[in-house]
Structure 1
Amino acid sequence: MKKLLLLVCILYGIVPQTQAQTGTYKGIGTIVFEAGAPLSLIKGTSESANGLIDLETGKFRFDVPITSFRFLNSLMQERFNDKYMQSSRYQKATFVGRIIDKGPISAKGEAKVTATGTLTIHGVAKKRTITGTLVQSGNTWQLLTDFPVKLADHHIQAPKLSSGYGASTMNVSLKMPLSPTTPDPQQIAAAKKLSIK
């Protein structure tokens, strides 16, 4: 009986630690894209970007629903979804890949990262290498990145600016807090039950 109790106590201690050591983080962040000079700016913001990243393997997946972008001008929002992005057909933009380089953590808790993967927008997939910064705060991280997207690469019609010229490139920025994934209670319970037997 004492051995069984000892086993249960050890199991309660080990299982959460094992889960925590997976290094998997997830979060919901903000994506902003903009094009054009300040006087003819096209700007959309989404607070529904989802991210999942394993800092041990470097694998990650980020996606954002296209209809989650908001604009100051309701007409621009309508055109963005119907004319430019065809969001009823291409519902998400995704970036899936792996971190290929992670620099040392500075005194400020910052680490430069380089990721390579497939960026899919408007149904068109392109290989991309994007740099960013991971900022550590306790057991959480915040991912910051800023990169350009050429609309022609994803077969997106360039929206007209008030100047009459088309915006051929969108500047995209992402700010996403990342927290350790919560262990699945059912998996822990199953592991405990199996181990006790």
Structure 2
Amino acid sequence: MKKLLLIVLYSLYWLLPQAQAQTGTYKGIGTIVFEAGAPFNLIKGTSESANGLIDLETGKLRFDVPITSFQFLNSLMQERFNDKYMQSGRFQKATFVGKITEKGPVSAKGEAKVTAAGILTIHGVSKKRTITGTIVQKGNTWQLVTDFPVKLADHHIQAPRLSSGYGASTMNVSLKMPLTPTEPEPQQIMAIKKFSFK
């Protein structure tokens, strides 16, 4: 019981605003997966090049992923994704820039729900979004996990035609990313501090 209490107190320490103000900036590279047309006619892309940056003093954050970094089961699907649907030569990255607006209670496992409000930009089209996720404190590292849907029409993306004849109108996006203390590059600091969510 004593050990469990210590774990909870330790986790609370890292999630309190005054502790965040002391821990500075966290950065990570994670895995992002999107799926559409599930469970049948599954279209799935995976990238291990998602970048994340969180300023714990302000709660501001930025995530981005190069569109061409997504890998598919076959080369034809990958070619259509880049050329026909995402036009990756023109719209090279997908980004989410925002701010942590809410943190839930810490569980016995040291996990807490977090909510971030911000701007999601895909295919050159920006939309206000509120996205929830889970963070887990493990020593000096955080593990961030989130899962959310994206409507293709919101970002002017043509819905892929499935073999069933129907279009996949929504893709489900999931992200797993370890975040460690870091000294960010000056341009990253400027990008995240300029953000204003209105």
Aligned residues: 165
Work out the CA distance in 2 between the residues paired with 1:23 and 1:107: 25
1:169, 1:73 → 2: CA distance? 21
Residue identity opposite 2:154 in structure 1: D
CA RMSD of aligned residues (A): 1.5
Q: Is the partner of 2:28 in helix, strand or coil?
A: strand
**Quick one: which amino acid aligns to residue 170 of structure 1?**
M
Q: AA paired with 2:119? A: T
Q: Once the two structures are superposed, what CA deviation does each residue of 1:156-190 show, in whole Å capped at 9, x if it has no partner? A: 00001111100000000000000011489xxxxxx
8 Å CA contact retained: 2:25, 2:184: no
Structure 1 runs of 4+ aligned residues shifted over 2 Å read 20-23
**2:59 equivalent in structure 1:** 58
Gaps of 5+ in 1: 1-19, 185-197
CA-to-aligned-CA distance 1:53-105 (integer Å, 9 cap, x gap) = 02232100000000000000110100000000000000000000100001232
Structure 2 counterparts to residues 1-197 of structure 1, below 5 A: 21-182=22-183
CA contact (8 A) 2:25 2:183 kept: no
Structure 2 unaligned blocks of 5 or more: 1-20, 186-198
CA distance in structure 1 between the partners assigned to 2:146 and 2:77 by the alignment: 25
Shift of 1:22: 4.1
TM-score (norm: length of structure 1)? 0.81
Distance verdict in 2 for CA 1:51–1:119, change over 3 Å: same
Query: By how many angstroms is 1:106 displaced?
Result: 1.8
- Return 152-161 or 20-29, whichever deviates more: 20-29
Aligned to 1:16: none
